[in-house]
Chains A and B, each alone.
Chain A
């Protein structure tokens, strides 16, 4: 079964530092997503990415966030200057809509980001 791989599984960073969260989506998927879940709260959509550009982004995805697909396999989320409130679990996902709504929509195991 193909997987979406996220690294690292856990990252601790100091407030104000830049972090890059990495994801390797499933190879034949076309759409890529980042979600986050603050501890005890709901999973929230951050951004979707298609054809090397952002398709949609949420209000959370402000100027401190950026996404990139640098080499055709990795999909990264960068947070430029981390804040305490960025501490959360970040999930990457990818899908190929040719398989139908919902099918093939695969999530990674997540990166737990802790800002201290």
Chain B
């Protein structure tokens, strides 16, 4: 079945440092890939997505590129801020349009210190 393997946390960085959170996946067909973020006390929010190979998703300075050859979707940001502190989840959805069951990774807790 489908699965997502995500970089173990927690990750602690200083403000303005570079961030990479690794994510690889196993899926049949052509899944869509997502990064979700969960701020303290809140629900899961879509951060960015990519629906086909070589697509780059971007939002709020974060980027991730759908790499079919390496089955990866690593999350990157060039300069993190304290407000980026949250838990980040990599996820995939099969190509069953309509019923978008999501398969998640374990989540990576990111803490940014001033």
Contacts and interface: CB of A to CB of B under 8 A. Distances in A.
Interface string A1-26: 00010000000000000000000000
B74 interface: no
A115 to B, nearest CB: 22
B34 to A, nearest CB: 6
Contacts of B100: 31, 95, 97, 101-102, 105
A109 B41 CA distance: 7
Contacts of A43: 44, 89, 91, 102, 104, 107
Interface string B72-114: 0000000000000000010101000111111111110000000
Interface residues of B, number: 26
Interface stretch (A44-52, A62-70, A73-81): A44-52
Nearest to A97: B98
Interface of B: 4, 32, 34, 36, 41-46, 49, 51, 89, 91, 93, 97-107
State the 7 A-B residue pairs at the shortest beta-carbon distance, nearest first.
A43-B104, A107-B43, A107-B44, A102-B49, A109-B43, A42-B106, A97-B98
Given A105-B102, A109-B43, 18 more contacts: A31-B98, A35-B102, A41-B106, A42-B107, A43-B44, A43-B102, A50-B98, A56-B99, A56-B101, A93-B44, A95-B100, A97-B98, A101-B49, A101-B93, A103-B46, A103-B49, A106-B43, A109-B42
Interface of A: 4, 30-31, 33, 35, 41-45, 48, 50, 55-56, 91, 93, 95, 97, 101-103, 105-110
